[in-house]
């Protein structure tokens, strides 16, 4: 009779377990939520005000790694040319593409896709900035 104290991880020996799958699903849900949040922020006046406010506090520049273009799904317009990301519809891209990253949450999402390639953007005073904006709203 099998030992009742053994977990699925011991029995499956390296195969995906319910616990590992649950973590993957949670991570994917976070990425989907972020994608929806960014899209919705572009639709409302308050959201657009928040985007403009955060753009004033964003530092750095895009390194063209393409990680943000692979959040949840790989953008069909993403082209990699000699290791550099390029957008096939750059002049006509959706608003949520042009404003990425809005805040630290977006950098966190992006870092799940390419954790070993640092983003060129940062938010040096992010906590103070987001708190100040929330208090004004």
**DSSP letter (8 states) at residue 70:** G
Lowest mean pLDDT among 8-22, 23-37, 56-70, 116-130: 8-22
Question: DSSP alpha helices (H): ranges in the chain?
Answer: 8-12, 18-41, 45-55, 95-98, 104-113, 126-136
CA gap 103, 124 in Å, rounded: 11
Tokens of 91: 């002049």
Q: Is residue 101 within 8 Å of residue 58, measured between CB atoms?
A: yes
Q: What is the mean pLDDT of residues 104-120?
A: 95
pLDDT tens profile 79-92: 999 999 999 999 99
More confident residue, 132 or 112: 112
Which pTM value belongs to this model?
0.76
Spatial CB neighbours of 137, under 8 Å, sequence gap ≥ 6: 46, 50
pLDDT tens profile 13-39: 556 667 788 899 999 999 999 999 999
Helix, strand, or coil (residue 86)? strand
More confident residue, 10 or 136: 136
Which residue ranges make up each domain of the chain? 17-136
Q: What is the mean pLDDT of residues 83-103?
A: 93
CA gap 96, 41 in Å, rounded: 8
């Amino acid at each position: 009779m099998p030992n009742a104290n053994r977990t699925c991880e011991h029995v499956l020996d390296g195969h995906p377990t319910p616990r590992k799958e649950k973590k993957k699903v949670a991570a994917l849900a976070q990425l989907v939520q972020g994608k929806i949040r960014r899209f919705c922020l572009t639709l409302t006046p308050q959201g657009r005000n928040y985007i403009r406010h955060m753009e004033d506090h964003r530092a750095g520049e895009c390194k063209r790694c393409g990680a943000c273009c692979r959040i949840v799904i790989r953008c069909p317009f993403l082209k990699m040319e000699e290791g550099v990301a390029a957008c096939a519809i750059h002049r006509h891209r959706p608003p949520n593409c042009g404003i990425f990253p809005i805040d630290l949450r977006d950098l966190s999402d992006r870092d799940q896709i390419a954790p070993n390639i640092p983003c060129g953007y940062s938010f040096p005073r992010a906590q103070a900035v987001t708190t100040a904006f929330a208090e004004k709203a």
